[in-house]
Amino acid sequence: MLRNRLAIVLLTALAPAIWGSTYLVTTELLPPGRPLLAGVLRALPAGLLLIALTRRLPTGSWWWRSLVLGALNIGAFFALLFVAAYRLPGGVAATVGAVQPLIAAGLSAALLGDRLSLRTLLSGIAGVAGVSLLVLRANAQLDALGIVAALAGAVVMATGVVLSKRWTSPAPLLATTGWQLTAGGLLLLPVALLVEGPPPSHLTGANLLGYGYLSLIGAAVAYALWFRGIRALPPTSVTFLGLLSPVVATALGWLVLGQDLAPVQILGALIVLGSLVAAQTQRPRTPAEVVAAAAPADHASDPVAEHAEHTEHTARADRQTV
């Protein structure tokens, strides 16, 4: 059981690790100043490909659910990420986005009845602190709209993760992944055309390679792994894995681009990894444990049940006396 859970955690962790390479691919292979176009070409072709492979379309309520989840997990998230990236230094945006596990923990407690433990809260705070040490700079400039966009991005992504757990589709995983990617890409398309204009008339081989990587690996593969993890793991555990993205991005910047890596950044990475381990090693309560834990409290807080039990006990004693 533990080995199986560990395997699921490691496979799910591949998704944010892949997303951590997005910055490198974008700066080295893609045309500059077109992040929304990159979001559309990352999501829409991958979604259509998965739908073509699975030959499954949504049915019933899954038409609107796919639209909602696609907007939260992809379309709205990418748009807000774009605003935050343009209004804030990358370190500030990543630090604000690191509150996502704490938001997911609160939403899971409210919508799914999951336990909000002290370990989760401390791990979430440690994760934010670790990311700030990893990517935040002392001369970072703050912008109110950028902060709101980064925080809203964390909220919509956390909400998407929790709702993906609550709304479990009977369709195959690749099909539901394709629905969300397609919905998110279609929602993002008019925004990209309005903000950035039509796509470039000429794309180089490097541009096509970059877009192909983001679509096939960064979207089709990564989101399939991510949504598989959501099905198998608690939402809070999944969102903690998202903190791997800035760690991988920093490591690739150091290894591939020759960027400096200060001791404080290494400390931040270690704190982030520690928070991930702490969050993943907390054993969730089973349904039987939840019922057992809730039963005494429910019984004690019900005066009608107490009165009925007392009356039954008194009647039994009277019968025995007679």
283: left (phi over 0), alpha (psi -120 to 50) or beta: beta
Residues 247 and 255: their CA atoms lie apart, in Å, by 12
- What is the reported pLDDT for 14? 95
Give the Å distances, CA to CA, from 131 to 59, 137, 188, 269.
41, 11, 28, 7
Structure tokens at 280: 């993943």
pLDDT, block means (10 residues), the chain with 322 residues: 81 92 87 88 95 95 95 91 76 82 91 87 92 78 82 93 91 95 95 91 93 94 94 91 90 86 90 91 54 41 44 45 40
Positive or negative, the Cα torsion across 166, 172, 173, 176?
negative
pLDDT, tens digit (0-9, with 9 covering 90-100), for 6-40: 899 999 999 999 998 888 888 889 888 888 899 99
- What is the reported pLDDT for 6? 86
The answer to whether 222 touches 18, Cβ cutoff 8 Å, is yes
